[in-house]
Amino acid sequence: MTEWWRGGVIYQVYPRSFQDSNGDGIGDLSGIISRLDHIASLGVDCIWLSPINQSPQADMGYDVSDYMQVDPLFGSLQDFDLLIDRAHSLGLKVIMDQVVSHTSDQHPWFQESCFSRENARADWYVWADAKPDGSPPNNWLSVFGGSAWEWHTARKQYYLHNFLTSQPDLNYHNPAVQDAVLDVMRFWLDRGLDGFRLDTVNYYFHDAQLRANPPLKSLNGKPAVNPYDMQSHQFSKSQPENVNWLKRVRKLLDEYPGATTVGEVGDDERGLELMKQYTSGPEMLHMCYSFDFLGPKFSAEHFRSKIERFFAGDETGWPCWSFSNHDVIRPMTRWAPFSANRADLARQAAALVMTVKGSVGLYQGEELGLPEADIMYEELTDPRGKRFWPEDKGRDGCRTPMPWQINLPHAGFTTGHPWLPVKPAHLDLAVDKQNADPDSTLNFFRQIIAWRKGQPALLTGSIEFFETDEPILAYRRSAGNKDIVCVFNLSAEERVVTMAGTAVELESVSHNAVLDDKALTLGPNGYALVEAPAGEGKVTYRAG
C-alpha cells in the first residue's frame, strides 16, 4: 500500500537515548535493533530515527559533517542495513531525519566554500558583505541567541546560521545545492529507507535581497526569554521559492513507491498555513507537522480552531499531529495543570491524537506517560539550555534515556555512565513494570492503536466539530455508514454532556465515562468514543 502513511502512526526514536549496546553510555543502532520488538508491539506503522549521520555533535547530530556516513557513535552503514532489514521483517517502515537546511562547519562543502570567494562551492552557503561600519548585513537573529550572521576571516564576509555558529546555512538559491541534496536523499532511499523527516523544512530559502525582519507585533505582554521571539521572521525563512524545491523532493520520492516525507514547520506566525501549503496536492510533501500542539495550550477552542483551519476549503493537505517530540517539554508536564492524575491525562492525550483527522507522531517514552525529567544545570548538554538557563532549561529534559527495567542500573539503558541521567521519577514507569500491568499506560497505547486500525473513519474519514463550551471538545469522524463520535473533558472536574441519536454503547477504549440514556458523565480527563449510525450522533454542552 503506497499510502500507508495516510492515517498511519509514526514512532520517533531518539537514538542517543533509546538503548546502548556497548556500554559507552550513548544509544546506538545495535541497541535500537535489540528493542525493535517493543516498537512493533505497539502496533505503529513506522519508525522515525533522529539524526544518525556523521557529526561533531555540537547540536546532537543536527550538524552533519558527512551525509552518507553513520556517525561511529551509533554504528556503521552495515548496522543501518541490519536495522532496516529487521524493521521491515517486523512490518515496520523506517524514515530518518534529513537535516539539509544547514550543515556542520566541518562538512567538506563548507570547508571548501569558506576557503575563498572563487571556488566550486563558493556560493553553496549564504555569504554576505559587512555593512560599511562592519556590522552584519541585516538584523536576522539565531534561534540559539545572538545574530544569525558570523564573520569569517578568510573570506572577509559574514555567513548565515539560523542555529549555532557551527551550523552554516546552505544556499538553496543555487541549483547545484539542490542537486547535491537530492543525491543525498537518493543514496538513503537506494539503501531501503522508506522516506524522510525533513528538519526545519521552511528554513531552506532566505530572502535573496537580505531584507531586515520587522518586529513582532505582539509579545502577549510577556518579555521574550530569547530575542529571536521578538522578530517577525518574514525574510529569514518561509520564502515562496521553497514550494518549487519541495516539488523536486516529492518528484524524487515518487520514484520509490511507498516512500514518504514528514516536514517540520517551525513558524509561530504561519505554521498552520505552511503545513497546508506544503502538503496540498500530489506534487507536494506527503505530511507536515507544526508546533501548534507542542506548547502549553490545552483547550477545546485551541484544538478545534487549528484543525478546522487546516482542513478549511482545500482538503488535499495532510497533517501529522504530534503532542511530543525531542524539542519540547513532555505533555505530561506541559498539560499537568489541566489534570489531577497523570495516568488519566496520558490516556486522554493518546485518545485525542489517535482520533483527530490526520496521521500521528509519537515520541519514545510517550507510550509510558513519562513526565519531563528535572535536569540540573551541571547535567545539561543542550546548547539552548546553557544559553537561556534557567528561564528556558533547554531540551535535555525530554531527551533522557528510555527506562526499560526498573531494577537494573540506569533502568537497563546502559551498563556504563549514561550521557543524560535516568531520573527516579521515570523508574517507576519502566517498560518491564508496565508490560506486567494490564491497566498500564503502555498497554493502553497498544489497545487504542489496535482499535484505531480497525476504524476507517479514524484513518481517512472526515471530521466535523460540535459547538460545545469549554472544557468539552467533541467531534464526529465519518466514513461510509458509520461514525465515531468523540467527546473529551479537558479538565480535572466532572462534566455532564448531552448526547442524542447514539443508541450504542461506549467503545472499550473510552475512559472515565458513563453513558446513561442520553446523559454522558465524563470524569476528570474522561472521554467517550461512541459508534453511531452515519449523521445521527449529536453532542451538546453548555457550561453553567
For residue 141, how many other CB atoms are within 10 A of its CB?
21
CB-CB contact of 401 with 365 (8 Å): no
What's the number of CA atoms in the CB half-sphere (13 Å) around residue 86? 19
Distance, in Å, from the CA atom of 101 to the CA atom of 197, rounded to the nearest integer, reads 12
CB-CB contact of 163 with 156 (8 Å): no
3-state secondary structure of 265: coil
Listed residue (486, 512, 362, 495) closest to 42, CA to CA: 362
- Secondary element (H or E) of residue 318: none
- Secondary element (H or E) of residue 139: none
Distance between the two ends of the chain, CA-based, in angstroms? Answer: 49
What's the number of CA atoms in the CB half-sphere (13 Å) around residue 320? 30
The three grid cell numbers given for residue 389, joined into one nine-digit string: 538557563
CB-CB contact of 158 with 130 (8 Å): yes
Distance, in Å, from the CA atom of 419 to the CA atom of 366, rounded to the nearest integer, reads 20
Q: Cell 556504563 sits at which residue?
A: 416
Cα angle 517-523-524, degrees, rounded to a multiple of 5: 160
Is 255 considered catalytic here?
yes
- For the sheet containing 157-160, what is the strand order? 127-128, 157-160, 149-152
Catalytic residue from among 45, 63, 71, 199: 199
Distance, in Å, from the CA atom of 233 to the CA atom of 237, rounded to the nearest integer, reads 6
Q: Are β-strands 46-49 and 93-98 bridged in parallel, bridged antiparallel, or unpaired? A: parallel
Catalytic residue from among 118, 133, 190, 255: 255
For the CA atoms of 525, 528, 529, 531, the dihedral, rounded to the nearest 10 degrees, stands at: -170
Cα 416 to the center of its chain, rounded Å = 29
Distance, in Å, from the CA atom of 377 to the CA atom of 390, rounded to the nearest integer, reads 8
CB-CB contact of 11 with 395 (8 Å): no
Is 199 considered catalytic here?
yes
Which residues is 157 bridged to in the sheet?
152
Distance, in Å, from the CA atom of 352 to the CA atom of 335, rounded to the nearest integer, reads 13
Catalytic machinery residues: 199, 255
